[in-house]
Amino acid sequence: MGLTILVIGSGGREHVIAQKFIKSPLVQEVYCAKGNPGMIRDGIQLVDIAEDNHKELIAFAEQNKVDWTFVGPEVPLLNGIVDDFKKAGLKIFGPEKAAAMIEGSKDFAKELMNKYHIPTAMHRTFHELEPAKEYVRMKGAPIVIKADGLAAGKGVVVAESVEEAISALEDMLEGNRFGASGAKVVVEDFLAGEEFSLLAFVRDQEIYPMTIAQDHKRAYENDEGPNTGGMGAYSPVPQIPQELVDEAIAKVLRPAAEGLIKEGCPFTGILYAGLIATEEGAKVIEFNARFGDPETQVVLQRLETDLAGIIDDLLNERIPAIQWKQDGFSLGVVVAANGYPEEYISGSVLPAFSSDCEQRVYYAGVSEKDGKLLSSGGRIYLVEAEGNTLEEAQQNVYQLLDSVDTTGTFYRKDIGAKAMKSAKL
Ligand code: AMP
Ligand code: GLY
């Protein structure tokens, strides 16, 4: 009998994770709570229990003889789903709440980085508006304003001017735009350089780094427009040299994992460092306690080893052997609803992809009506393709997107362009 696995989450990230699990020879059954209707075609079974209903999820896992659970998003981690499952004697992959605070509080993350000498932008934390304004006036622009706590990637303003920075501060500290998460604000120096995401499987002090990826956070081409959850990604990132990645593993991932152990909250799960390659080396702009979305949809295509086997090894005190592809590229483009990340429209009929292309379409904000998929969220789906070169991977994705009806939705046409520009320099 193969493994029975429960995945928590409902986005494109969970779609690719659950798809990798179900294709594994080790796996019998994959459930996803709540999942989305775009996952059904892969044989993933949807479970209609909310992510925050730990009691019912535990009961479901017990009744269905789930061997282990994999947590996709940050919110359940910060709600203590791992703590609760473990208390019930169930196996679950992800950090406990105390360790997930590395993502849940920017202030906690900054303190950890300072204490363990992890390179990051200089910062100050403020609870009150006036001293924050004064600090911003003293520092000048560009400067970065971040709401403490979770804000789905949208609590960050990279201000080009002091006025813009002050209005962001007013928004977060006075207007309470982000609710409780806006009560504290981190003001940090702007870091210039290319951004990349370095993720690793982590079990206490053991670190198994993944191939790096680059996300595209801004809504529109040329990195313009508001920040989003991510509009596309590719992996690997050829303009970031391996020495810099090795340095980031040694100076960022290792001390973070060791620091969390010393703080009494060891981390097991996926640790994600959002980094900027500055002239002084890689510096952290954020930590996440989970896989990235949309990075996962491309990074997992680079994995040669069976994902279910890796997680099973990590949960059962075995050392996983992990292999990454050495050649080629994977690139994914997010299709979002018109209006996203502000108010967006829902209910657009999604195109039907041919069955071989379907395998590389990962759904997020979708619902189903009369056998058709309709948009129901901001980020709707991602189309991924591979290529021997990045250009080829990009052409493969855009050819597919150009060939279907994308009415009511939009996507960036320049995912991967930065890498190709630097390659030609
Ligand atoms: P975060 O939610 O912290 O990942 O921030 C969202 C985006 O804002 C990042 O992906 C970066 O593009 C940008 N950003 C955040 N912090 C900085 C910084 N200190 N310097 C430059 N850009 C930043
Ligand atoms: N793609 C950025 C994130 O998942 O936070």
Q: What phi and psi values does residue 85 have, to the nearest 5 degrees?
A: -65, -45
Please report which ligand is nearest the Cα atom of 223: 1
CATH number of the domain that 132 lies in?
3.30.1490.20
**Residue reference for tokens 């003001």:** 187
Report d(CA 56, CA 171) in Å as an integer.
Answer: 38
CATH number of the domain that 290 lies in?
3.30.470.20
Q: Does 100 map to a domain?
A: no
Please report which ligand is nearest the Cα atom of 217: 1
Co-location of 353 and 419 in the same domain? yes
In this predicted structure, what is the pLDDT of residue 425?
A: 46
For ligand 1, say whether the CB of 348 is within 6 Å of any of its atoms: no
Indicate which atom in ligand 2 lies nearest the CA of residue 292: 4
Backbone angle region of 392, left / alpha / beta, with phi > 0 → left and psi within -120 to 50 → alpha? alpha
Co-location of 202 and 309 in the same domain? yes
Co-location of 399 and 300 in the same domain? no
Provide, rounded to the nearest whole percent, the portion of the chain with pLDDT above 90: 86
Co-location of 56 and 135 in the same domain? no
For ligand 1, say whether the CB of 392 is within 6 Å of any of its atoms: no
Indicate which atom in ligand 1 lies nearest the CA of residue 191: 20
Q: How far is CA 105 from CA 37, 148, 198, in A?
A: 32, 6, 19
Q: At 231, which amino acid appears?
A: M
> How many Å lie between the centroid of ligand 1 and the Cα of residue 285?
6
Per-range mean pLDDT, top range of 120-124, 352-356, 361-365: 361-365
Q: Cα 192 to chain center, whole Å? A: 22
Please report which ligand is nearest the Cα atom of 296: 2
Q: Does 320 map to a domain?
A: no
Co-location of 420 and 353 in the same domain? yes
Co-location of 226 and 309 in the same domain? yes
Indicate which atom in ligand 1 lies nearest the CA of residue 223: 12
For ligand 1, say whether the CB of 277 is within 6 Å of any of its atoms: no
In this predicted structure, what is the pLDDT of residue 148?
A: 75
In this predicted structure, what is the pLDDT of residue 175?
A: 60
Nearest-CA neighbor of 57 among 2, 6, 15? 6
Q: Is a pLDDT exceeding 70 seen at residue 424? A: no
Q: Does 189 map to a domain?
A: no
Q: 303 - beta bridge partners?
A: 324
For ligand 1, say whether the CB of 286 is within 6 Å of any of its atoms: yes
Co-location of 140 and 46 in the same domain? no
> How many Å lie between the centroid of ligand 1 and the Cα of residue 346?
28
Q: Does 395 map to a domain?
A: yes
Nearest CA to ligand 2 atom 2: 292
Structure confidence at residue 213 as a pLDDT band (50, 70, 90):
very high
Q: 329-337 and 268-278 as β-strands: parallel, antiparallel, unpaired? A: unpaired
Please report which ligand is nearest the Cα atom of 227: 1
Nearest-CA neighbor of 415 among 329, 300, 292, 328? 329
Q: Does 291 map to a domain?
A: yes
Co-location of 310 and 198 in the same domain? yes
Nearest-CA neighbor of 308 among 317, 298, 320, 297? 320
Of 159, 183, 207, at which residue does a domain stop? Answer: 183
Nearest CA to ligand 2 atom 3: 292
For ligand 2, say whether the CB of 215 is within 6 Å of any of its atoms: yes
State the average pLDDT over residues 210-217.
97
Q: Is a pLDDT exceeding 90 seen at residue 227? A: no
State the average pLDDT over residues 143-170.
84
Nearest-CA neighbor of 169 among 131, 219, 140, 142? 131
CATH number of the domain that 52 lies in?
3.40.50.20
CATH number of the domain that 336 lies in?
3.90.600.10
From the number of C-beta atoms within 10 Å of its C-beta (0-12, 13-18, 19+), residue 6 rates as buried
Q: Is a pLDDT exceeding 50 seen at residue 408? A: yes
Mean pLDDT across the chain, nearest whole number?
A: 94
In this predicted structure, what is the pLDDT of residue 177?
A: 56
Q: 27-34 and 3-9 as β-strands: parallel, antiparallel, unpaired? A: parallel
The sheet that has 281-288: what strands, in order across it?
A: 206-209, 194-203, 268-278, 281-288
Nearest CA to ligand 1 atom 10: 217
Structure confidence at residue 188 as a pLDDT band (50, 70, 90):
very high
Nearest-CA neighbor of 35 among 57, 62, 7? 7
pLDDT, tens digit (0-9, with 9 covering 90-100), for 238-282: 999 999 999 999 999 999 999 999 999 999 999 999 999 999 999
Q: Does 111 map to a domain?
A: no
Q: Does 106 map to a domain?
A: no
State the average pLDDT over residues 134-149.
91
Asked if residues 350 and 375 have their Cβ atoms less than 8 Å apart, the reply is yes
Of 315, 341, 370, at which residue does a domain stop? Answer: 315
Q: Is a pLDDT exceeding 60 seen at residue 180? A: no
And the tokens for 151? 């804000």
**Residue reference for tokens 């939705």:** 409
In this predicted structure, what is the pLDDT of residue 179?
A: 54
Co-location of 166 and 242 in the same domain? no
Q: What is the domain count for the chain?
A: 4
Co-location of 310 and 347 in the same domain? no
Q: Which domain holds residue 377?
A: 329-424
In this predicted structure, what is the pLDDT of residue 328?
A: 97
Q: Does 228 map to a domain?
A: yes
Co-location of 307 and 408 in the same domain? no
Co-location of 334 and 410 in the same domain? yes
Of 145, 162, 183, at which residue does a domain stop? Answer: 183
Structure confidence at residue 184 as a pLDDT band (50, 70, 90):
confident
**Residue reference for tokens 């996983």:** 320
> How many Å lie between the centroid of ligand 1 and the Cα of residue 25?
39
Nearest-CA neighbor of 240 among 301, 189, 282? 282
Asked if residues 271 and 287 have their Cβ atoms less than 8 Å apart, the reply is yes
In this predicted structure, what is the pLDDT of residue 357?
A: 82
